[in-house]
């Protein structure tokens, strides 16, 4: 059965929820970033970049990157309707996931890991502050995309939804005023009402359950 390598609270939560929503068999293997488990020689054999998520398929193929894993989930379980059926809809889903991955996530990295962007200790506070501002601007954009919803892409729940939940959680973690984002917050409550989402948040002991 496929194995998902994840770390609680990390961006891997997107792939974790999507796999649970798909309902097929998979094993969830924790790789604790806080304990440096992603840096071990064993994990480097799975993902030499030392990042989560990674999904190991039955034939040994390893898929990295949320965008690719989410796509794999949507295409592997078409009956679960986790991707739009039409070509343009599928490409729009890909476009949203790519933006979450290449723009929204890196803004948060500026806040969480400013040392990755400068060797100057004195420059880090500024990088963090700017990251926080851009990250919140991205959350506001997500709020606008959700609009009346009920889901990110409108009527259909897709693999984009679990991905957007990661960033609501991170915004709340760094004490951004996420509750002011009315569409995003109402959507978060709808997400939390889904059994598969709750199951994974419980497994990952997510603070979102108490938010």
Ligand X SMILES: N[C@@H](CCC(=O)N[C@@H](CS)C(=O)NCC(=O)O)C(=O)O
**Shorter beta-carbon distance to ligand X: residue 21 or 65:** 65
Q: Please, what sign has the CA dihedral across residues 206, 2, 52, 84? A: negative
Binding mask 150-189 for ligand X (x = CB under 6 A): ----------------------------------------
Give yes or no for a contact between 63 and 53, defined as CB atoms under 8 angstroms apart.
Answer: no
- The strand pairing partners of 154, in sequence order, are 151
CA 145 to each of CA 11, 29, 151: distance values in angstroms, whole numbers, following the listed order = 20, 33, 9
Q: Does position 110 bind ligand X by CB under 6 A?
A: no
Q: Does position 111 bind ligand X by CB under 6 A?
A: no
Minimum CB distance to ligand X, residue 113 (Å): 7
Look up residue 126 and give its two tokens: 């500024």
Minimum CB distance to ligand X, residue 65 (Å): 4
**Shorter beta-carbon distance to ligand X: residue 136 or 163:** 163
Q: Does position 11 bind ligand X by CB under 6 A?
A: yes
> DSSP of 109-129, one letter per residue?
HHHH-GGGT-S-GGGHHHHHH
Q: Does position 17 bind ligand X by CB under 6 A?
A: no
Task: Quickly list H helices, 23-123.
Answer: 41-46, 66-76, 87-99, 105-112
Among 51, 56, 110, 132, binds ligand X (CB under 6 A): 51
Give yes or no for a contact between 1 and 19, defined as CB atoms under 8 angstroms apart.
Answer: no
Q: Does position 107 bind ligand X by CB under 6 A?
A: no
Q: Does position 53 bind ligand X by CB under 6 A?
A: yes
CA 89 to each of CA 101, 116, 124, 134: distance values in angstroms, whole numbers, following the listed order = 18, 36, 40, 27
Q: Does position 101 bind ligand X by CB under 6 A?
A: yes
Among 66, 71, 138, 172, binds ligand X (CB under 6 A): 66
Q: Does position 96 bind ligand X by CB under 6 A?
A: no
Minimum CB distance to ligand X, residue 42 (Å): 15
CA 211 to each of CA 109, 132, 172: distance values in angstroms, whole numbers, following the listed order = 22, 20, 8
Q: Does position 104 bind ligand X by CB under 6 A?
A: no
Residues of this chain that bind ligand X (CB under 6 A): 10-11, 33, 38, 50-53, 65-66, 101
């Amino acid at each position: 059965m496929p194995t998902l390598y994840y770390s609680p609270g990390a961006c891997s939560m997107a792939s974790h929820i999507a796999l649970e929503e798909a309902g097929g068999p998979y094993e969830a293997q924790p790789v604790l970033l806080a304990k440096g488990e992603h840096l071990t020689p064993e994990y480097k054999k799975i993902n030499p970049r030392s990042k989560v998520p990674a999904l190991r398929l039955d034939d040994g193929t390893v898929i990295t990157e949320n965008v690719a894993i989410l796509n794999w989930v949507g295409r592997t379980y078409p009956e679960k309707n986790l991707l739009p059926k039409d070509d343009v809809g599928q490409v729009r889903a890909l476009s949203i996931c790519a933006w979450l991955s290449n723009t929204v996530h890196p803004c948060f990295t500026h806040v969480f890991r400013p040392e990755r962007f400068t060797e100057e200790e004195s420059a880090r506070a500024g990088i963090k502050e700017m990251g926080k501002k851009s990250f919140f601007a991205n959350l506001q954009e997500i709020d606008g995309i959700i609009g009346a919803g009920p889901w990110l892409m409108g009527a259909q729940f897709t693999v984009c939804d679990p991905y957007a939940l990661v960033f609501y959680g991170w915004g709340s973690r760094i004490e951004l005023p996420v509750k002011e984002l009315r569409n995003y917050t109402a959507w978060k409550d709808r997400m939390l009402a889904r059994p598969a989402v709750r199951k994974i948040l419980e497994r990952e002991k997510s603070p979102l359950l108490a938010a």
